Amino acid sequence: MRFLSLLFVFLLPGIVSAERPNILWFVVDDMSANFSCYGEKTIQTPHVDGLAKQGLRFTRAYATSPVCSTFRSALITGMYQTSIGAHHHRSGRGDHQIFLPEGVQPVPELFQDGGYYTCMGSGLPGYDAKLKPTKVKRIGKSDYNFDWDPDMFDSYDWAGREKGQPFFMQVQLHGGKIRGASARQYEQVEKRMEAEFGGATDPESVVLPAYYPRDPVMLRDWATYLDTVRITDEHVGRVIARLKEEGLYENTLIVFFTDHGISHARGKQFLYDEGTHIPLVIRGPGISPSTTRTDLVEHIDIAALSLAAAGIPLPAKMQGDDILAADYSPKEAVFAARDRCGEAADRIRSVRTDEFLYLKNFYPKRPFLMPSNYKDSKLILQRLRELHAEGALSQLTEALLFAPARPAEELYKFGEDRWQVKNLAGDPKYAEVLQSHRAMLENWIQQTGDPGPETPEVYTMEVEDQMTATRNKESREKYRKNSELYQRWAAEGK
């Protein structure tokens, strides 16, 4: 049936041709824009820099969600995760099932209908997403929070396509996850860097956000993270070399981006720049070299621009925009949402305009660093809690990370407050700005059908499902204990 569809599409006059570009996405886990083409000076990233030099670099691209599964659910549909009910991390995989709304279809299915060969893997047969040798042949990371058909991917690699058939490939890279969360894993990365790259990054050379202490654990973690950026860049370079060797490079639209920012206390899972600002570099047919755009874009736009580049009509319901279209008008605002992550039930929404970032915390009575089995398993979080208990943190760090409650609203000025540490929401000078951004966010919530939090019954089903899937007994008990706390807070109206 798919073969017949392919023949039919090729016969459609004026829509597609044998010269349709291949579409290749680099999707990288847990990584901010720490590439030298984005101003990172501690390390060099020549391959991603090369894509930027040959193509288009966006300086203000943002994720609509700062955690893997919700980001990927939005990415693969070109829809806000809140609009499709996929906004709670790792949801819809057990007793509680989630189905896409009518008129919403995963992008790979649209590419298949358009005659493309769809694949998802490492981009390098014989290597995994960590750039380590492997004999395993499997589809790459999906992590979608809705019911989907595995047949929407033809293979893990483009090598199996028909002669002359264009492909849609997602190269899934482990990115920042390579560094792990423990001293043992840091050591493994450091040894790998010595063996494969001639040396690891010096912890003393790194620049930390102002609210993280220059503690040896923090510095080593960040240095190891930067080494994963170097590994990622090398992986990108090898895939590019393969494309060139196979004569595919010139007719392949390459889109490089990450799924959210660095996994750290105020990064992943939160809506500050550390969590949602991502690199976005596009290179390929029709893209002018050495171009930079500073307008606001959202990661759901990647689906739209990719379909458009392939000559495939965009679904009427798709919320992402073809930001490469000749008649595209820049956005006035972009939006993001954070909801339950694991057992940690939360609801935060944000709107960004050219000058400001506005956040609304729907549970302001809860602390910022709420209990989280996932985050508290990380050495950096454990160390921060130790320093807090010892009274060894700065006033800024205490105020941002360990306050017992959060402000209901936050407002930060772009360009003057790099790390979003000065909340202007209470400043009378910005009262009108606060009101206009509050209205924009409320309007977006209404227009996009944001359903908000889960019911208590669904929360129970979801956490029970995740506890069942957790093999480690100690981790499972922490998860259970935390979930009981969140249920109690909800009952108390906290």
**Which CATH superfamily does the domain covering 20-333 fall into?**
Alkaline Phosphatase, subunit A (3.40.720.10)
Q: Is 341 helix (H, G, I), strand (E, B) or coil?
A: strand
Structure tokens at 290: 């050495």
Average pLDDT in the 336-357 region? 98
Which pLDDT belongs to residue 473? 86
pTM over 0.85: yes
pLDDT at 409 over 80: yes
- Which residues contact residue 53 at a Cβ distance below 8 angstroms, ignoring those fewer than 6 apart? 37, 289, 290
Domain(s) labelled CATH 3.40.720.10 in the chain stretch across 20-333
Which pLDDT belongs to residue 467? 84
CB 232 within 8 A of CB 175: yes
Smallest Cα–Cα separation from 171: which of 278, 264, 255, 297? 255
- Which residues contact residue 171 at a Cβ distance below 8 angstroms, ignoring those fewer than 6 apart? 24, 25, 26, 27, 121, 122, 123, 140, 235, 239
Which pLDDT belongs to residue 470? 82
State pLDDT tens for residues 65-96.
999 999 999 999 999 999 999 999 999 998 89
**Based on the number of CB atoms within 10 Å of its own CB, is 41 exposed (0-12), middle (13-18) or buried (19 or more)?**
exposed
Give the whole-angstrom CA distance, residue 71 versus residue 89.
Answer: 9
* Terminal Cα-to-Cα distance of the chain (whole angstroms): 54
- Which residues contact residue 158 at a Cβ distance below 8 angstroms, ignoring those fewer than 6 apart? 22, 117, 119, 167, 169
pLDDT tier at 13, thresholds 50, 70, 90? very low
CA dihedral 181, 182, 186, 187 (to 10 degrees): -160
Give the whole-angstrom CA distance, residue 464 versus residue 483.
Answer: 9
Beta bridge partners of 26: 171, 256
- Which residues contact residue 262 at a Cβ distance below 8 angstroms, ignoring those fewer than 6 apart? 30, 31, 32, 34, 176, 225, 268, 274
Secondary structure element (H or E) that encloses residue 356, with its range: strand 356-361
Residue written as tokens 């893209």? 287
Which pLDDT belongs to residue 8? 36
Which pLDDT belongs to residue 469? 83
Pick from 14-23, 99-108, 430-439: least confident: 14-23
Helix pair angle (216-245, 379-389), 10° resolution? 160
Average pLDDT in the 285-306 region? 98
